[in-house]
Amino acid sequence: MESKSNSKIHNNVLSTIGDTPIVELHRCLPKTQHQFFAKLEFLNPGASVKDRIALSIIEAAEKSGELKPGGTIVEATSGNTGVGLALVAAVKGYKCIFVMPEKMSEEKRKTLRAYGAEVVITPSGVEPDDPRSHYSVAKRITVETPGAYHTNQYHNVANITQHYEVTGPEIWKQMDGKIDAFVAGAGTGGTISGVGRYLREKNPKVNIVCADPIGSILYDVFYHKKPIDPVGSYLVEGIGEDMLPANMHFDALTDFIRVNDKESFTACRNICRTEGMLVGPSAGAALAAAIKFSETLKTPSKILVLFPDSGKSYLSKAFDDNWMRQNKLID
C-alpha cells in the first residue's frame, strides 16, 4: 500500500486511506462495567473499510502484471469493495464492471455508477455455483472481457495480508495495546482474520469475535466444521456468507455471536441517534454482538467494535421508517 506523505497535502486521494480514528462509545450502550470503542472505517474516502483492500489488491495486481494499463477491473461485490475499487480505478485510469445481488441498496448502485462503473445486477439467494450468482457472473464477465482482471476479494491473499500488515498494527498502536476483545462482521473474512491474527500474536488473550447474521453458514462452520442450519436470507448487507471464502481463517478467531436483522438495524439507528455516527446495519450487527459477548465477561474489559461503513448507503432502508415497518423491523 502507498505510504502516507509527511506533507499536509496529499498527492491524491489514495494516500488518505486508513489511519481512521477510534472513539469511545457511551450513550448507545446498556449499563455496563465494560468500555466500548469504535473503529470508524466509514471515514475512509470511499466511506468503508473496503478502501483498504481495494488499494492493496490493485497494487498487487499491477506488480504481478495481471492488471495492465487501461485494463478492466471486475468484482462480485455487495457494494463497498466496488466503491473502493472504483475510486482507486478513477485515480489510476482503469475501467470497472461490478456484479451485485439485487438485495443491495439503490444508493450503492448509484454510487458505483457515479464513479463511472458498469453495474450488473443478479438474483439474491441463489447458490454460489449457480450460473446466475454474482460470483459466477463476475467470473464469466472476466473471461469474456479483453484485458479484464478479476480482483476476487473473497480469495485474494492481498485482502487478508493488508489487514494483518496495516489495519491490525494500526489498531494495536491506537489502543496502546490495551484491548481485550475485537468484534467485527465477516463477509470475505479478510478484516477479522487479518486483524485477529495480528492482535492475537501481540496478545494471545485478546478475544476475536465475529458477528454473524442468522442465515449465514459461518457460525456453524466455526463451531461444527460444517453447515447445520439451512442457508437463510437476511437483510443486513456485506456480512455473513453462503460459501467459505479463502480469506476466512477460523483459527484467528475465538468466538462467533449470532445476530438477527432486528437487532442489527435497531442498533444501527441507535448509534446514529445517540452517538452522532451515521453507520450502516453491519455496524449495528457488530455492536449488538459485542454487547452480547460482553455479558459473558466477568471482569471489566476494553472492547473494540469495527464500524465498517456509512449509513448514507442505507438511507432508503435502515433509516426509512416505512421500509423498516414493511420488513417488520420496527412496530
- Residue 206 identity: V
Residue 201 pLDDT > 70? yes
The percentage of the chain sitting over the pLDDT mark of 70, rounded to a whole number, equals 98
Encode pLDDT of 157-196 as tens digits: 999 999 999 999 999 999 999 999 999 999 999 999 999 9
Encode pLDDT of 210-230 as tens digits: 999 999 999 999 999 999 998
| pLDDT value of residue 104 | 83
Residue 105 pLDDT > 90? no
**What distance in Å separates the CA atoms of residue 91 and residue 48, rounded to the nearest whole number?**
18
**What distance in Å separates the CA atoms of residue 181 and residue 199, rounded to the nearest whole number?**
9
Residue 6 pLDDT > 90? no
Report the predicted TM-score, pTM, of the whole model to 2 decimal places.
Answer: 0.93
Burial class (CB in 10 A: 0-12, 13-18, 19+), 220: middle
The percentage of the chain sitting over the pLDDT mark of 90, rounded to a whole number, equals 91
Residue 123 pLDDT > 50? yes
Q: Per the residue annotation, which of 8, 31, 39, 50 is the catalytic one?
A: 50
Query: Has 50 been annotated as catalytic?
Result: yes
Positive or negative CA dihedral for 162, 49, 64, 5?
negative
Alpha carbon distances (Å) from 324 to 105, 174, 175, 240, 321:
14, 36, 36, 21, 5
| pLDDT value of residue 3 | 47
Q: Name all contacts of 12-17 with Cβ < 8 Å and 24+ positions apart.
A: 12/91, 13/45, 13/87, 13/91, 14/55, 14/87, 14/88, 14/91, 16/44, 16/45, 17/44, 17/45, 17/51, 17/52, 17/55
Q: Are the C-beta atoms of residues 19 and 73 closer than 8 Å to each other?
A: no
Residue 2 pLDDT > 60? no
| Pairing mode, strands 181-185 and 148-150 | unpaired
Phi, psi of 150 (to 5 degrees): -85, 110
Residue 244 pLDDT > 60? yes
Residue 78 pLDDT > 80? no
The mean pLDDT value for 51-79 works out to 95
What does pLDDT average to over the chain?
Answer: 95
The mean pLDDT value for 54-80 works out to 94
